[in-house]
Amino acid sequence: MKSLDFIYQRKSVRKFKEINVPKEDIIKMLDAATHAPSPKNQQTWHFVVIQNKDLINEIGNIVTKNHIHLADIAKEEKQRKQMMSVLPYYTCFKNAPVVIVVYSKEYYMVEETILRDNNASEDVINELRFPNSAAQGIGAAIENFLLAATELGYGTCYMTGPTHSKSEIEELISFNKEGYNLMAMISLGVSEDDTPNSPPRKPLEEVVTFID
């Protein structure tokens, strides 16, 4: 437990070998995900595991279509080129044998109910909701999943880009659980050899402040 290698070895992987991931390993990762910290322990997450290659490709086609449409309607050529340059990053999950689609329900805040009952302004409500506790809980669960995958020898990529096609993906998957919406996706598999390392991180002195 003293080594933090599983943190520093984690990186975003976008190319995978054609090797299936055993269900028992996926369950281990999902179990790790559900042990993440959860605001007020509401555990708003739900994970949909997709291993059907045809379905994964259909999702990829939806994302591609909508991404190109967004690029086409861009007012500036620079924006269009920027959108098209990142298309491979939005659809790289097509290379993975497993895609985890992460859903969340709305996070309930009793504070908001109290404030609304007392006619608080929307500015006050928005300030309360700004930290987006539901998204923070989902992010923590996904990070647990990614780290567990790394420890088990798998590669992953945490993706929110494809959510520009959220509604169509939800309709295609036909996962129905009242109040839950698609938040993110994770591609999972055995990494191809020599995948790129993580990009450099900002130095700690740039992102950390100590207050004594």
Digit-coded pLDDT (tens) for 55-95: 999 999 999 999 999 999 999 999 999 999 999 999 999 99
CATH number at residue 18: 3.40.109.10
pLDDT given at position 202:
97
Residue % of the chain over a pLDDT of 70: 100
Q: Is residue 23 part of a domain?
A: yes
Within 13 A of 59's CA, how many CA atoms are on the CB side? Answer: 33
pLDDT at residue 1 above 70? no
Report the residue count for the chain: 212
**Residues in Cβ contact with 18 at an 8 Å cutoff, skipping those fewer than 6 apart:** 97
Q: Is residue 196 part of a domain?
A: no
Where does 118-203 have alpha helices with state H? 122-129, 133-151, 166-173
Q: Is residue 182 part of a domain?
A: yes
> Average pLDDT for residues 4-29, to the nearest whole number?
96
pLDDT given at position 173:
96
Q: Is residue 205 part of a domain?
A: no
- Whole-number Cα distances in Å, 130 to 44, 108, 153, 192: 17, 13, 36, 39
Range of the domain at 164: 13-191
> Average pLDDT for residues 122-131, to the nearest whole number?
93
pLDDT at residue 117 above 90? yes
Whether the Cβ atoms of residue 104 and residue 183 lie closer than 8 Å to each other: yes
Q: Is residue 207 part of a domain?
A: no
> Average pLDDT for residues 12-41, to the nearest whole number?
97
pLDDT at residue 137 above 80? yes
Q: What is the pLDDT of residues 173-208, one digit of tens each?
A: 999 899 999 999 999 999 999 999 999 999 999 999
**Residues in Cβ contact with 17 at an 8 Å cutoff, skipping those fewer than 6 apart:** 189, 190, 191, 192
Q: Is residue 2 part of a domain?
A: no
Give the number of domains in the chain. 1
Q: What is the pLDDT of residues 166-181, one digit of tens each?
A: 999 999 999 989 999 9
- Whole-number Cα distances in Å, 149 to 30, 90, 117, 143: 10, 21, 45, 10
